[in-house]
Amino acid sequence: MSIKHIILSLAACGGLAACGDTLGEQALGGAAIGAGAAAITSGSLAQGAAIGAAGNIAYCQLNPGKCN
């Protein structure tokens, strides 16, 4: 994997911290970021979306004060 892919992936993962107000918004936002990261790294879009959605929901539920 090239350094470009690594940097772009890390930048995309930073977007996971941007939570939505509802569970659906959190899932949708995470799925979009995950699919984008998968596209950048030539991965599976469906897996990226699923991992991104799960990661964003978990982060937002565990850290509600950081999701304003």
Q: Domain ranges in the chain?
A: 3-15+22-66
Instruction: Quote the distance between the C-alpha of residue 49 and its chain's center.
Output: 8
- The model carries a pTM of 0.71
Q: Are 30 and 56 in contact (CB under 8 A)?
A: yes
* SS3 category, 18: coil
Only one residue has tokens 């977007």, namely 15
Please compute the mean of the pLDDT values over residues 36-64 and round it to a whole number: 89
Q: What is the pLDDT of residue 49?
A: 92
pLDDT in tens, 18-29: 677 889 998 998
If we measure between CA atoms, which residue out of 16, 9, 20 comes closest to residue 56? 16
